[in-house]
Structure 1
Amino acid sequence: MTVSNGRFTDSERQGVYRAIFERRDVRSQFLPDPVSPDVLTRLLEAAHHAPSVGFMQPWDFIVIESRDVRETVLAMFEQENQKAAERFEGERKEHYRSLKLQGIMESPLNLCITCDRSRGGPHVLGRNSIVETDLFSTCLAVQNLWLAARAEGIGVGWVSILDQEQLSTALNLPEHVYPLAYLCLGYVSEFLDQPELEAQGWRSRLPLSDLVHGDKWGQPFSSGL
């Protein structure tokens, strides 16, 4: 039950923040347990209720269960991951190669969230100055799905090490549809206390106080943090 003025109750508010702070990019903890159609529908409904520029709703959802399709995507990942490893040297390169950066075959479902850049016609309200707002809107759909998944106890991993043109071909996407996010979904054995890259020493979370500016870049925020 919500309180007056649209505010959530304390327990509801805690649930929202818990989903935000405990959301993880999952690669290694997937279980084989299937995601039921009812749960999947709830996740997709959450994604579909994201805000979008001009209410264009540019997203589509490709639910991928086929082993053949996933093996094709995995081969793409391995090719691109090898290229990425070559960007590093020495211990950093070996550290990179030790990281598990996808759960394409282990997760029971893969999901590609696409952006139809032609939806809404040539003139979308609010998009004339910043054309990329359709992509930004689709990212909000991804985040909605991710937070809803955490509330359902489902892990999500974003596989970003893919060639987008190859992925478009593999999924038979029209030319005007962009494969924005390739996700792995499934129940997990655990949600780690820290993001996996932080736990494995790749990077640490930056202090919020270093990232907040007041009025202009580089000026202190007068209220402090």
Structure 2
Amino acid sequence: MRIVVRIFSIVCACLAALFGYCLYFAFSQGKEDSMCMIVFVFVMFVLCAFSSFKLWVGGAKKKNKNTGWLPEPHIQKDTRTPEERRMDALLRIDAVTELPVEDAPGIILKPGEICHYSTSAHMVTTKNVVTGYKGGSVGASVKVAKGFYLRTGSSRGTPIREDVRTLHHGTLYMTNQRIIFVGEKGFDYQISKLTALTPMGYDGLTLQFGTKNYSLIMHEPYWIFKILELLQKQ
């Protein structure tokens, strides 16, 4: 593109010089028939200058959009279904044979402790609360004698209770010694205290430490199972 712009610029410069020469020749020699040549050269100069300007502007925009005058990279759209993506992730994680090592800026590691996994997660808490009332009555005034009224009370009816789930954001860490959740509902347990690990669909799991249960939603929870497997092989 830059070569084409330079060629057009050179042509414009030559036409400008030729245009000036034709003007000089016409006025110095007094020949009126050279005016056609002047008009022709002028039109060609304008066309070449306009084409050069368009190429230069278009090339500048393309350079700003794609650094270094390179064509736009072709981004292939992921046409896999969610189920296929999850299966690919399972196969990829299952093929890991060595424990990963990660930085853990959010926690203080103990001597000899190594962080093997960290991810953003949400802890799910469920609480049974009253969300409304069913039935009930509205109070009214009943006349029992002249000038005397009896006010009946109103009733709310039967309360409706429902389980309401709340998500608490945090970060889950897994080391060679502990499983830690840093957040509003945080916890810190030794791996040896883990009594059960239950998948919760494809995007979560439930950790049980004795009588305490923690349900977590995260990306690729299969890593927890894999790291436990690799730790047991050490």
TM-score by length of 2: 0.22
Which structure is larger by alpha-carbon Rg, 1 or 2?
2
TM-score by length of 1: 0.22
Larger strand proportion, structure 1 or 2?
A: 2
